[in-house]
Amino acid sequence: MSKSGRTSPLPSILSQTADMQMQMTLRQVGFGAASANAMPYVPPKSAPAPRDDSALALKRRDWLLHVMEQQRALSPYASGLLTADALSGEDFLHNFYAPGRPALIKGAMEGWPAREKWTPDYLADAIGDAQIEYQGGRTQATDYELAKDRHKRRAPFRQFIALVRDGGNDAYLTAYNSAANGPALAPLQADLGHPDAYLAPTPGMLWIGGAGAFTPLHFDLTNNLLAQVTGTKHVILVPPSQTGRLAHNRHVFSDVSDLTDPARLALYPRARDLLRYEVRLTPGDLLFIPIGWWHQVRSESFSTMLTYTHFHWPNAGHENYPAG
Protein backbone atom coordinates (compact mmCIF):
# COMPACT_ATOMS: atom_id res chain seq x y z
CA MET A 1 0.00 0.00 0.00
CA SER A 2 1.18 3.51 -0.74
CA LYS A 3 1.02 6.36 1.75
CA SER A 4 -2.16 7.62 0.03
CA GLY A 5 -3.88 4.32 0.76
CA ARG A 6 -4.04 3.37 -2.90
CA THR A 7 -2.39 0.36 -4.43
CA SER A 8 0.48 1.47 -6.65
CA PRO A 9 -0.07 0.63 -10.34
CA LEU A 10 3.69 0.49 -11.00
CA PRO A 11 4.19 -3.31 -10.65
CA SER A 12 1.29 -3.97 -13.03
CA ILE A 13 2.67 -1.58 -15.66
CA LEU A 14 6.15 -3.09 -15.36
CA SER A 15 4.83 -6.63 -15.76
CA GLN A 16 2.79 -5.63 -18.82
CA THR A 17 5.83 -3.97 -20.39
CA ALA A 18 7.99 -7.01 -19.71
CA ASP A 19 5.34 -9.28 -21.23
CA MET A 20 5.16 -7.15 -24.39
CA GLN A 21 8.96 -7.18 -24.73
CA MET A 22 9.00 -10.96 -24.37
CA GLN A 23 6.30 -11.37 -27.04
CA MET A 24 8.23 -9.15 -29.46
CA THR A 25 11.38 -11.15 -28.83
CA LEU A 26 9.60 -14.46 -29.42
CA ARG A 27 8.17 -13.22 -32.72
CA GLN A 28 11.61 -12.07 -33.92
CA VAL A 29 13.13 -15.49 -33.35
CA GLY A 30 10.20 -17.36 -34.95
CA PHE A 31 8.00 -18.25 -31.98
CA GLY A 32 4.34 -17.30 -31.83
CA ALA A 33 1.99 -16.24 -34.61
CA ALA A 34 3.10 -13.21 -36.55
CA SER A 35 0.59 -10.63 -37.65
CA ALA A 36 -0.27 -10.59 -41.34
CA ASN A 37 0.74 -6.93 -41.49
CA ALA A 38 3.95 -7.34 -39.49
CA MET A 39 7.14 -6.19 -41.15
CA PRO A 40 9.68 -8.97 -41.63
CA TYR A 41 12.68 -8.81 -39.33
CA VAL A 42 15.76 -7.47 -41.09
CA PRO A 43 19.04 -8.02 -39.27
CA PRO A 44 21.24 -4.93 -38.97
CA LYS A 45 23.95 -4.45 -41.55
CA SER A 46 27.47 -5.17 -40.43
CA ALA A 47 29.65 -2.14 -39.79
CA PRO A 48 31.93 -1.19 -42.68
CA ALA A 49 35.50 -2.35 -42.39
CA PRO A 50 37.64 0.34 -40.72
CA ARG A 51 40.07 2.22 -42.92
CA ASP A 52 43.75 2.14 -42.16
CA ASP A 53 44.05 5.63 -40.69
CA SER A 54 46.96 4.83 -38.38
CA ALA A 55 49.13 7.65 -39.78
CA LEU A 56 46.31 10.16 -39.32
CA ALA A 57 45.63 8.84 -35.82
CA LEU A 58 49.27 9.40 -34.87
CA LYS A 59 49.15 12.96 -36.23
CA ARG A 60 46.06 13.65 -34.18
CA ARG A 61 47.70 12.19 -31.08
CA ASP A 62 50.77 14.37 -31.57
CA TRP A 63 48.57 17.42 -32.13
CA LEU A 64 46.69 16.73 -28.91
CA LEU A 65 49.87 16.27 -26.87
CA HIS A 66 51.33 19.47 -28.34
CA VAL A 67 48.23 21.52 -27.54
CA MET A 68 48.17 20.19 -23.98
CA GLU A 69 51.85 21.11 -23.55
CA GLN A 70 51.12 24.64 -24.80
CA GLN A 71 48.35 24.90 -22.23
CA ARG A 72 50.65 23.83 -19.40
CA ALA A 73 53.30 26.31 -20.54
CA LEU A 74 50.99 29.18 -19.61
CA SER A 75 52.00 28.74 -15.97
CA PRO A 76 55.39 27.99 -14.39
CA TYR A 77 53.49 26.04 -11.75
CA ALA A 78 52.16 23.61 -14.36
CA SER A 79 55.23 23.08 -16.55
CA GLY A 80 58.99 23.09 -16.42
CA LEU A 81 61.46 21.60 -13.97
CA LEU A 82 61.21 23.11 -10.51
CA THR A 83 63.78 22.92 -7.72
CA ALA A 84 62.43 22.35 -4.22
CA ASP A 85 64.17 22.40 -0.84
CA ALA A 86 63.24 20.00 1.96
CA LEU A 87 60.05 18.96 0.19
CA SER A 88 57.51 17.20 2.40
CA GLY A 89 55.92 13.94 1.30
CA GLU A 90 52.50 15.56 1.01
CA ASP A 91 53.82 18.43 -1.12
CA PHE A 92 55.73 15.96 -3.28
CA LEU A 93 52.61 13.88 -3.86
CA HIS A 94 50.28 16.74 -4.75
CA ASN A 95 52.68 18.93 -6.74
CA PHE A 96 54.85 16.38 -8.53
CA TYR A 97 54.04 12.69 -8.14
CA ALA A 98 50.32 12.79 -8.91
CA PRO A 99 50.61 15.40 -11.71
CA GLY A 100 53.53 13.49 -13.26
CA ARG A 101 55.90 16.45 -13.16
CA PRO A 102 59.68 16.17 -12.64
CA ALA A 103 61.37 17.84 -9.69
CA LEU A 104 64.90 18.47 -8.46
CA ILE A 105 64.87 18.08 -4.67
CA LYS A 106 67.61 19.54 -2.50
CA GLY A 107 68.41 18.83 1.13
CA ALA A 108 66.91 15.34 1.40
CA MET A 109 70.26 13.49 1.64
CA GLU A 110 71.85 15.41 4.48
CA GLY A 111 73.87 13.22 6.81
CA TRP A 112 74.43 10.32 4.40
CA PRO A 113 77.99 9.09 5.15
CA ALA A 114 78.34 7.81 1.57
CA ARG A 115 78.48 11.36 0.23
CA GLU A 116 81.90 11.79 1.84
CA LYS A 117 83.14 8.20 1.92
CA TRP A 118 82.42 6.76 -1.52
CA THR A 119 85.65 7.37 -3.36
CA PRO A 120 86.92 4.67 -5.73
CA ASP A 121 89.53 3.60 -3.16
CA TYR A 122 87.03 3.39 -0.31
CA LEU A 123 84.60 1.33 -2.38
CA ALA A 124 87.32 -1.05 -3.57
CA ASP A 125 88.49 -1.64 0.00
CA ALA A 126 84.96 -2.01 1.39
CA ILE A 127 83.87 -4.71 -1.08
CA GLY A 128 87.26 -6.10 -2.04
CA ASP A 129 87.32 -9.06 -4.41
CA ALA A 130 83.68 -10.09 -4.04
CA GLN A 131 82.30 -11.14 -7.42
CA ILE A 132 79.84 -8.66 -8.91
CA GLU A 133 77.87 -8.34 -12.14
CA TYR A 134 78.10 -5.29 -14.40
CA GLN A 135 77.46 -4.21 -17.99
CA GLY A 136 80.54 -4.58 -20.19
CA GLY A 137 81.57 -4.37 -23.83
CA ARG A 138 79.24 -1.41 -24.32
CA THR A 139 81.51 0.43 -26.75
CA GLN A 140 81.38 -2.53 -29.14
CA ALA A 141 77.65 -2.18 -29.86
CA THR A 142 75.07 0.56 -30.32
CA ASP A 143 72.20 -1.43 -28.81
CA TYR A 144 73.85 -2.19 -25.47
CA GLU A 145 70.83 -0.94 -23.53
CA LEU A 146 68.36 -2.94 -25.59
CA ALA A 147 70.51 -6.08 -25.29
CA LYS A 148 71.46 -5.86 -21.62
CA ASP A 149 71.69 -9.61 -21.11
CA ARG A 150 74.28 -9.89 -23.85
CA HIS A 151 76.47 -7.38 -22.02
CA LYS A 152 76.44 -8.97 -18.58
CA ARG A 153 79.93 -9.50 -17.20
CA ARG A 154 81.32 -10.74 -13.89
CA ALA A 155 84.50 -9.69 -12.13
CA PRO A 156 85.92 -9.05 -8.67
CA PHE A 157 84.59 -5.68 -7.51
CA ARG A 158 88.09 -4.27 -7.08
CA GLN A 159 88.81 -5.09 -10.72
CA PHE A 160 85.59 -3.42 -11.83
CA ILE A 161 86.55 -0.22 -9.98
CA ALA A 162 89.88 -0.25 -11.83
CA LEU A 163 87.97 -0.46 -15.13
CA VAL A 164 85.80 2.58 -14.47
CA ARG A 165 88.17 4.73 -12.42
CA ASP A 166 89.64 6.43 -15.49
CA GLY A 167 86.32 6.93 -17.28
CA GLY A 168 84.64 5.67 -20.43
CA ASN A 169 81.37 3.97 -21.31
CA ASP A 170 82.60 0.41 -21.77
CA ALA A 171 81.90 -0.76 -18.20
CA TYR A 172 79.01 0.37 -16.03
CA LEU A 173 77.32 -1.11 -12.97
CA THR A 174 73.62 -0.33 -13.46
CA ALA A 175 70.24 -0.90 -11.86
CA TYR A 176 69.82 -3.92 -14.15
CA ASN A 177 72.56 -5.66 -12.16
CA SER A 178 71.05 -4.93 -8.74
CA ALA A 179 69.37 -8.29 -8.16
CA ALA A 180 72.61 -10.16 -8.79
CA ASN A 181 74.71 -7.80 -6.66
CA GLY A 182 72.59 -7.49 -3.53
CA PRO A 183 74.62 -9.80 -1.25
CA ALA A 184 78.04 -8.63 -2.47
CA LEU A 185 77.27 -4.92 -2.09
CA ALA A 186 75.26 -5.22 1.15
CA PRO A 187 78.07 -3.72 3.30
CA LEU A 188 77.57 -0.37 1.56
CA GLN A 189 74.04 -0.01 2.95
CA ALA A 190 75.46 1.19 6.27
CA ASP A 191 76.68 4.36 4.53
CA LEU A 192 73.25 5.30 3.19
CA GLY A 193 70.24 7.14 4.51
CA HIS A 194 66.77 6.85 3.01
CA PRO A 195 64.29 9.43 1.62
CA ASP A 196 61.53 8.22 3.94
CA ALA A 197 59.17 11.06 3.06
CA TYR A 198 58.69 9.62 -0.42
CA LEU A 199 59.73 5.99 -0.30
CA ALA A 200 58.95 2.70 1.39
CA PRO A 201 61.91 1.15 3.28
CA THR A 202 63.33 -0.73 0.29
CA PRO A 203 66.99 -0.46 -0.82
CA GLY A 204 67.77 1.51 -3.94
CA MET A 205 69.46 0.20 -7.09
CA LEU A 206 73.10 1.20 -7.38
CA TRP A 207 74.86 2.74 -10.38
CA ILE A 208 78.67 3.08 -10.49
CA GLY A 209 80.53 4.38 -13.52
CA GLY A 210 83.30 6.63 -14.69
CA ALA A 211 83.23 9.92 -16.56
CA GLY A 212 81.51 9.33 -19.88
CA ALA A 213 79.22 6.50 -18.74
CA PHE A 214 76.07 7.09 -20.76
CA THR A 215 72.46 5.93 -20.72
CA PRO A 216 70.80 6.80 -24.05
CA LEU A 217 67.45 8.50 -24.52
CA HIS A 218 64.56 6.40 -23.21
CA PHE A 219 61.58 6.46 -20.86
CA ASP A 220 60.87 4.13 -17.95
CA LEU A 221 57.76 2.11 -17.17
CA THR A 222 57.67 3.34 -13.57
CA ASN A 223 58.14 6.58 -11.71
CA ASN A 224 61.81 6.87 -10.66
CA LEU A 225 63.69 8.79 -8.01
CA LEU A 226 67.41 9.31 -8.67
CA ALA A 227 69.69 9.96 -5.69
CA GLN A 228 73.10 11.34 -6.66
CA VAL A 229 75.61 10.21 -4.03
CA THR A 230 79.02 11.22 -5.45
CA GLY A 231 80.21 12.83 -8.66
CA THR A 232 78.08 14.72 -11.16
CA LYS A 233 75.75 13.78 -14.01
CA HIS A 234 74.20 15.71 -16.86
CA VAL A 235 70.54 14.81 -17.42
CA ILE A 236 68.26 15.83 -20.28
CA LEU A 237 64.52 15.46 -19.70
CA VAL A 238 61.89 15.52 -22.46
CA PRO A 239 58.14 15.48 -21.73
CA PRO A 240 55.94 12.75 -23.24
CA SER A 241 54.30 15.36 -25.48
CA GLN A 242 57.44 15.32 -27.65
CA THR A 243 57.30 11.59 -28.41
CA GLY A 244 56.32 12.16 -32.04
CA ARG A 245 59.68 13.86 -32.65
CA LEU A 246 61.80 11.11 -31.15
CA ALA A 247 61.64 8.19 -33.60
CA HIS A 248 60.15 5.88 -31.00
CA ASN A 249 60.33 2.51 -32.76
CA ARG A 250 61.89 0.10 -30.26
CA HIS A 251 60.51 -0.71 -26.82
CA VAL A 252 61.17 2.33 -24.56
CA PHE A 253 64.07 3.71 -26.58
CA SER A 254 64.44 6.54 -29.07
CA ASP A 255 66.41 6.00 -32.26
CA VAL A 256 67.78 9.51 -31.71
CA SER A 257 69.73 8.06 -28.78
CA ASP A 258 71.71 11.21 -27.88
CA LEU A 259 70.25 14.71 -28.10
CA THR A 260 73.74 16.24 -27.83
CA ASP A 261 75.17 14.36 -30.83
CA PRO A 262 75.07 16.48 -34.03
CA ALA A 263 75.32 13.35 -36.19
CA ARG A 264 72.19 11.85 -34.61
CA LEU A 265 70.31 15.13 -34.91
CA ALA A 266 71.24 15.31 -38.59
CA LEU A 267 69.57 11.92 -39.05
CA TYR A 268 66.52 12.94 -37.00
CA PRO A 269 66.08 16.71 -37.54
CA ARG A 270 62.66 16.80 -35.82
CA ALA A 271 64.47 16.23 -32.52
CA ARG A 272 66.52 19.42 -32.83
CA ASP A 273 64.02 21.96 -31.53
CA LEU A 274 61.93 19.87 -29.17
CA LEU A 275 60.99 20.97 -25.67
CA ARG A 276 63.55 19.73 -23.16
CA TYR A 277 64.98 20.49 -19.73
CA GLU A 278 68.58 20.04 -18.65
CA VAL A 279 69.90 19.58 -15.14
CA ARG A 280 73.29 18.88 -13.58
CA LEU A 281 73.03 16.48 -10.67
CA THR A 282 75.49 17.12 -7.84
CA PRO A 283 76.04 15.10 -4.63
CA GLY A 284 72.95 15.19 -2.45
CA ASP A 285 70.47 15.88 -5.26
CA LEU A 286 67.28 13.89 -5.77
CA LEU A 287 65.68 13.96 -9.21
CA PHE A 288 62.12 12.73 -9.66
CA ILE A 289 61.47 11.45 -13.20
CA PRO A 290 57.79 10.61 -13.79
CA ILE A 291 56.75 7.59 -15.80
CA GLY A 292 56.80 8.30 -19.53
CA TRP A 293 59.28 11.18 -19.39
CA TRP A 294 62.16 10.71 -21.81
CA HIS A 295 65.64 11.15 -20.37
CA GLN A 296 69.30 10.54 -21.09
CA VAL A 297 72.05 10.57 -18.47
CA ARG A 298 75.80 11.11 -18.84
CA SER A 299 78.35 10.94 -16.00
CA GLU A 300 80.70 13.92 -15.90
CA SER A 301 83.05 12.27 -13.39
CA PHE A 302 83.39 9.06 -11.41
CA SER A 303 79.86 8.79 -10.10
CA THR A 304 77.69 6.76 -7.75
CA MET A 305 73.92 7.01 -7.80
CA LEU A 306 70.87 5.14 -6.57
CA THR A 307 67.47 4.79 -8.20
CA TYR A 308 64.28 4.04 -6.28
CA THR A 309 60.85 2.93 -7.47
CA HIS A 310 59.12 1.83 -4.23
CA PHE A 311 57.14 4.99 -3.49
CA HIS A 312 54.44 5.30 -0.85
CA TRP A 313 51.91 5.57 -3.68
CA PRO A 314 50.95 3.26 -6.58
CA ASN A 315 53.66 2.79 -9.19
CA ALA A 316 52.51 -0.12 -11.34
CA GLY A 317 52.20 1.39 -14.81
CA HIS A 318 54.50 -1.31 -16.18
CA GLU A 319 51.88 -3.99 -15.55
CA ASN A 320 49.74 -2.90 -18.51
CA TYR A 321 52.54 -1.97 -20.90
CA PRO A 322 51.81 -3.30 -24.44
CA ALA A 323 55.15 -4.96 -25.04
CA GLY A 324 54.06 -6.31 -28.43
The helix/strand/coil state of 17 is helix
pTM of the predicted structure, to 2 decimals: 0.82
- Asked if residue 240 has pLDDT above 70, the reply is yes
Question: What is the pLDDT averaged over residues 234-251?
Answer: 95
Return d(Cα 27, Cα 41) in angstroms, integer: 9
Instruction: Indicate whether 59 belongs to any domain.
Output: no
Instruction: Indicate whether 219 belongs to any domain.
Output: yes
Instruction: Indicate whether 268 belongs to any domain.
Output: yes
Instruction: Indicate whether 53 belongs to any domain.
Output: no
The helix/strand/coil state of 256 is coil
CATH number of the domain within which 198 lies: 2.60.120.650
Under the banding of pLDDT at 50, 70 and 90, the label for residue 144 is very high
The helix/strand/coil state of 274 is coil
Q: Please report, to the nearest 10 degrees, the dihedral formed by the alpha carbons of residues 91, 95, 96, 97 taken in order.
A: 70
Return the percentage of the chain with pLDDT > 70, whole number.
Answer: 84
Instruction: Indicate whether 300 belongs to any domain.
Output: yes
Could you tell me the CA-to-CA distances from 87 to 7, 180, 272 in Å, in that order?
65, 33, 34
Residue 154 domain boundaries: 73-313
- Number of independent structural domains in the chain: 1
Q: For the segment 16-52, what is each residue's pLDDT rounded down to a tens digit? A: 444 545 444 444 444 444 444 555 655 666 556 656 6
- Asked if residue 69 has pLDDT above 60, the reply is yes
Instruction: Indicate whether 177 belongs to any domain.
Output: yes
Instruction: Indicate whether 39 belongs to any domain.
Output: no
Instruction: Indicate whether 139 belongs to any domain.
Output: yes
